[in-house]
Each structure stands twice: as C-alpha cells, then as structure tokens.
C-alpha cells in the first residue's frame, strides 16, 4: 500500500457542551520548531496491522473551547482524556463519547495518569505537583518541587512519581507519603527536562533534555547507566520533547524539536532507527502493546504510524489544524486517537479487511 495520506474520511463533528469559555488564545498552527512541554503516555493495545486498507477512517472529532493547551494525556485503560490549559482546571472527558466527566483544580504541565488509571498528576503551579483520584476528582496530595516542574511519570507499579525539573534534575517521590526518595543530576547546566519515563520493569528512568540527549538512570540507586545522544541538523540545541519505552522495555523512542524520531536499544545504547517523515518537531509518542508499532504526533498536525522492526512509516493521519499534543492506541487495538492544540479529539477506527481468501 502506498505510504500516502488517505483522502477518504468519515467525519462526525460533536460539540462538547457545558464547558467554561476561556479567553481567546493563540493556537500554534502547523509549522516548524518551537519549544513545548508535554506528558507522554504509553497506552497498551493488542496486535494491530496498519497495513490493512481500512486503517484510516476518522470516527469522530470533538471540539472544545479555545484555550492554550499546556498538557494532554490518555488514561492507560483507554477510557479518559485529560487536558489542562493556562493553569486553568484539569478537564477529564470520556474518549468514547467526548462527555466531560469532571474538572479538577488548576493544572499546567506534565499531566499524566498512573498505570492503573486510578490517579492523575499534574504540575498545578510552577513549583508544585497535585495528585488527584480519577474516580472522584478528590485531590489526595500536593508535592512541592522548588526547582520547578517540566515533566512527570508514574512508575508502572504506581508507587513512585518522577518529576523532571529545569535544574536540571529528576527527583523521585513516594506517592503514598510524598517523601523524596532520590534525585538524579547529570544533564548539562540550564537544560530543560520536558520528558521523563519509567521502563515497564521499574528498573530504569529515562529523561530527555537539550542537545538531543536522553539519559538512562537506574531507578533503585539513581546511578546514570548511559546517555543516548543523536546528531542534529538544527541550528542551536534541539530539545527532546517526548520519550517512551516499548512494552517489553527493549527499545526507547524519543521525539525532539527535529522532525526525526529516534529509536534506541536500551541495553546497548545503539540507535536502531532514525524515523524520518514528519516535517516539524515531534511532540507525542505511544507504542502499541505488542511493541510492533509506534504512533507519533507532530507540530506538522499529522499522526504517523511506524513499523518498529523495519523502521518504516506505514500510515499518516491528517485532519488536525494545530499541533498534536497526545496520541494513543486503544487497548483493544481498534482505534488510534489524537488530541491537538486545536482543542479537538480525533479517533480513527482500525479495521482488518483482507482482499480474497
């Protein structure tokens, strides 16, 4: 099948009622290179095949009021999308219906769900992190982070929360008590850390910063294991904006202010693939649960699907009018969803059609 954008779409526009109007905001259109902070979510899905011909039907698009969206995240169970803007309320909505379920107190950067989808964390001020119970919207804890908050990640077992700061440092907190467990320092001075992630085994923490650099840390000790560093073509110092481990923990994917997605071997530190296809920075990444495919969202307003083993692009989704802040595969493998800074959620249905026996 040609690697091109499918022009046939099934589009249903649904307005989301009952949401507070915010002041007019500048939405970043589809263009090149501007720094952003985003949370990264791996949403598990069974085997899917993006090469199937019916992979590209847009199921619905849900519009929300105009606002500058700081952060967006899909819950690992596929039920919810959370987003925040301008340190206004964190809004929680059902992915299937677009219905707003509840709002929580002010949020900002680093919005992320726990692995069991029971808790939600966000940088609720410039120097603090709030944790909420998803089922009730009740705030259960507020953690102070004097050096700032640029990214967050829960450990897969939900016991710990990693906080990326512009110090630059990564601090690990115990969720149950808020106690500081350890701090990792090693990125260059004045480096922002817009991305942080735990490996599926809880063994490692990865952090992405400037100079197209990702560092791998031993979670139990805070010891730096290795540095992944890619050459770059940008004038200046490209910043890594999103990272994700593959479900088995073998690979680490990184997206940056460059349009190229990097795939790294965690054990050796070797770059396995440089995935070229986007025309602007890459802001969000998610693996399918079998690790065969990778979805990436970009400031070029497209979502691309990549075959991990071959390192090739197999599909492009378009339709957003502003950059893509979050992408995910559904757990059942039927859908790929993307939330853009145009305040629109688009979900494409994945079907498996075979020509002939």
Find the mean pLDDT for residues 251-277. 95
- As a whole number of angstroms, the longest Cα–Cα distance in the chain is 62
Find the mean pLDDT for residues 45-54. 40
Helix (H) or strand (E) holding 175: none
Q: Environment class of residue 77 by beta-carbon count within 10 Å: exposed (0-12), middle (13-18) or buried (19+)? A: middle
pLDDT at 152: 93
**Contact of 102 with 137, CB cutoff 8 Å:** yes
pLDDT at 78: 84
Q: How many Cα atoms occupy the beta-carbon half-sphere of 62 within 13 Å? A: 19
Rounded Cα–Cα distance for residues 249 and 201 (Å)? 7
Over the Cα atoms of the chain, what is R_g? 19
pLDDT at 350: 59
Neighbour tally for 12: CB within 10 Å: 9
Rounded Cα–Cα distance for residues 220 and 37 (Å)? 26
Q: Where do the domains of the chain lie?
A: 49-68+277-357
| Complete DSSP assignment for 180-195 | EEEEE--SPTT----E
- Is 232 or 155 the better-scoring residue by pLDDT? 155
* Chain segment 269-308, per-residue pLDDT in tens: 999 999 999 999 999 999 988 898 999 999 999 999 999 9
Q: Environment class of residue 354 by beta-carbon count within 10 Å: exposed (0-12), middle (13-18) or buried (19+)? A: exposed
Q: CB under 8 Å to 252, separation ≥6 — which residues?
A: 197, 206, 214, 216, 228, 243, 244, 245, 246, 263, 264, 266
pLDDT band at 341 (very low <50, low <70, confident <90, very high): confident
* Chain segment 17-45, per-residue pLDDT in tens: 222 222 223 445 675 434 433 433 333 33
- Is 86 or 325 the better-scoring residue by pLDDT? 325
Find the mean pLDDT for residues 199-226. 92
**Contact of 315 with 305, CB cutoff 8 Å:** yes
pTM listed for this prediction? 0.81
Comparing 139-143, 346-350, 353-357, the range with the smallest average pLDDT is 353-357
Rounded Cα–Cα distance for residues 165 and 90 (Å)? 21
Rounded Cα–Cα distance for residues 188 and 250 (Å)? 26
Rounded Cα–Cα distance for residues 298 and 196 (Å)? 18
Which neighbouring-strand residues pair with 58? 348
Placement of tokens 């982070």 in the chain: 145
**Contact of 115 with 44, CB cutoff 8 Å:** no
pLDDT band at 332 (very low <50, low <70, confident <90, very high): low
Structure tokens at 217: 């840390």
Rounded Cα–Cα distance for residues 44 and 75 (Å)? 10
* Chain segment 221-236, per-residue pLDDT in tens: 999 999 998 765 555 5
pLDDT at 18: 25
**Contact of 191 with 211, CB cutoff 8 Å:** yes
pLDDT band at 127 (very low <50, low <70, confident <90, very high): confident
Q: Environment class of residue 326 by beta-carbon count within 10 Å: exposed (0-12), middle (13-18) or buried (19+)? A: buried
* Chain segment 160-197, per-residue pLDDT in tens: 999 988 877 899 999 999 999 999 888 876 667 789 99
Most confident of 10-14, 144-148, 178-182: 178-182
pLDDT at 87: 60
Neighbour tally for 56: CB within 10 Å: 23
pLDDT at 169: 86
Mean pLDDT of the chain: 78
Is the predicted pLDDT of residue 5 greater than 50, yes or no? no
pLDDT at 110: 82
Find the mean pLDDT for residues 120-124. 90
pLDDT band at 125 (very low <50, low <70, confident <90, very high): confident
pLDDT band at 357 (very low <50, low <70, confident <90, very high): very low
CA angle 222, 228, 231 (to 5 degrees): 150
């Amino acid at each position: 099948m040609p690697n091109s954008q499918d022009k046939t779409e099934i589009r249903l526009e649904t307005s989301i009622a009952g949401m507070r109007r915010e002041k007019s905001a500048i939405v970043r259109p589809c263009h090149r290179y501007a720094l952003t902070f985003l949370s990264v979510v791996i949403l598990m899905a069974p085997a899917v095949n993006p090469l199937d011909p019916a992979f590209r039907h847009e199921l619905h698009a849900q519009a929300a009021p105009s606002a500058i969206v700081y952060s967006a995240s899909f819950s690992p169970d596929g039920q919810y999308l959370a987003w925040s803007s301008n340190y206004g309320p964190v809004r929680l909505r059902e992915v299937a219906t677009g219905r707003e379920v509840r709002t929580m107190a002010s949020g900002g950067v680093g919005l992320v769900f726990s692995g069991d989808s029971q808790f939600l964390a966000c940088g609720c001020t410039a120097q603090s992190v709030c944790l909420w119970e998803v089922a009730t919207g009740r705030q259960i804890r507020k953690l102070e982070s004097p050096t700032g908050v640029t990214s967050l990640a829960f450990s897969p077992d939900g016991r710990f929360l990693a906080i990326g700061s512009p110090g630059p440092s990564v601090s690990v907190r115990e969720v149950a008590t808020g106690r500081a467990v350890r701090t990792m320092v090693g990125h260059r001075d004045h480096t922002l850390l817009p991305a942080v992630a735990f490996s599926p085994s809880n063994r490692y923490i990865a952090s992405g910063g400037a100079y197209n650099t990702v560092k791998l840390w031993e979670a139990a000790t805070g010891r730096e294991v290795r540095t992944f560093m890619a050459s770059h073509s940008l004038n200046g110092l490209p910043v890594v904006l999103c990272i994700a481990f593959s479900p088995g923990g073998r690979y680490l994917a990184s997206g940056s202010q460059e349009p190229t997605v990097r795939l790294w071997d965690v054990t050796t530190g070797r770059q396995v693939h440089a995935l070229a296809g986007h025309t602007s920075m890459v802001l969000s990444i998610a693996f399918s649960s079998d690790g065969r495919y990778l979805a990436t969202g970009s400031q070029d307003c497209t979502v691309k699907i990549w075959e991990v083993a071959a390192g090739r692009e197999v599909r492009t989704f378009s339709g957003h009018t502003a950059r893509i802040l979050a992408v995910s595969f559904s757990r059942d493998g039927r859908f790929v969803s993307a939330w853009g800074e145009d305040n629109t959620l688009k979900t494409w249905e994945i079907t498996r059609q075979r020509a002939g026996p």
